[in-house]
Amino acid sequence: MRPDETAKSPQEPAYQPLMIVAVVAATGIIVDRYWSLGWWTWIGLAGGGLAVWQPLWRRERFTPAMIALGVTVAAVAGAWHHAQTSLLASDELGLFARPQSEPVCLEAIVASAPHYMPAPPYNPLATLPVEDRSRVEIDVTAIRDRAAWRPASGRTTLVVAGDRVPVAAGDRLRIFGHLAALTTPSNPGEFDYAATARDDGRHCTLRSEFPEAVVRTAGGSPWQLARWTDGLRASGVALLRRSLAPAQARLASAMFLGVREDLEPQQSEAFLETGTVHVLIFAFGPQVGNGYFLAGILRVSSQSSRTISTSEAFGCGLGRVFGLGFMPQA
């Protein structure tokens, strides 16, 4: 056998079309985020891209055909983003909101466990005092109209002043509070909270002044995934508190579990001042690292020497994300 026959041929780079599709789709979403083109414009671009792609593909003109197909993918992604942020149902709670807050009575279902936000230390320079409060994600089901109940829909964040709210995911609530529309920035360059909230599917603000104004009318099913993830997160926090010193446990809970409500205000301020607040963000990067770690454990336990694939690491990381829940990024 000749030496050139035994030499291994160089491996060709792997063909990964989904990466190109993801970049093109993200481009369409970004365009709609900052320059909303409208629903029918996106639909027209998607249909036109398909109409141009088909004859080009049949004539084997692959490069322009791929460009036309990319326009279609970007248009579909832009249309999806536009539908999620700008097209509302007729009973969307945000359509009932006004610029000035108004009293309201709602019925809703708790989407995730409440997050307690303790008041910061006294600051003589603060214009308004900030008290303890809890933040709860809810899915609205009905709104009271005088003596009758009208169906309503939409997700919003309920902010309750005072002590912790004893509710869990899946619980049904009757809420007495104040409803208001999202406010746009008043100054140039100011953070656009309304745009960020719309990207998350929230189109109004809801606030209750007392925990007693949130009444639990029925409990949720114990088989809900949200209850399991909240219980898993609570078990992780309890384990860290038993294993670490109080200050270290609070920091570890914020970094690995996304539970930042117990973090001391001085610690949060230090991360902000040093520009390392991203350490506290529950981003996807740690999920990939944990994915490789978990995949490595599976490899050792199965006594396999095969290399860990990206899809395996991605699956483990994504499983950890679903297991611990999608936490706010800031």
d(CA 302, CA 305): 9
d(CA 204, CA 86): 13
Name residue 109's beta-bridge partners: 139, 172
Residue 17: per-residue pLDDT: 78
The dotted CATH code for 93-121+128-218 is 2.40.50.140
Which tens digits make up the pLDDT trace of 145-197? Answer: 988 999 999 999 999 988 778 888 889 999 999 999 988 887 887 777 888 88
Residue 232: per-residue pLDDT: 79
Beta strands in 182-229 (DSSP E): 204-208, 214-218
Which tens digits make up the pLDDT trace of 287-321? Answer: 444 554 455 555 544 545 455 555 555 555 555 55
Residue 330: per-residue pLDDT: 42
Q: What is the CA radius of gyration of the chain?
A: 25
Residue 72: per-residue pLDDT: 94
Q: Are strands 204-208 and 155-161 parallel, antiparallel or unpaired?
A: parallel
d(CA 165, CA 113): 9
Q: Which has the closest alpha carbon to 36: 92, 89, 79, 88?
A: 79
d(CA 30, CA 316): 28
Contact 90, 120 (CB under 8 A): no
Confidence of residue 273 (pLDDT cuts 50, 70, 90): low
Q: How many CB atoms lie within 10 A of CB 10?
A: 6
d(CA 194, CA 203): 8
Contact 169, 115 (CB under 8 A): no
Q: Which has the closest alpha carbon to 165: 126, 198, 221, 207?
A: 207
Q: Which has the closest alpha carbon to 112: 274, 226, 237, 238?
A: 226
Name residue 83's beta-bridge partners: none
Residue 282: per-residue pLDDT: 45
Q: Scan for tokens 């709602």, then name that residue.
A: 106
Average pLDDT of the residues in 230-245:
82
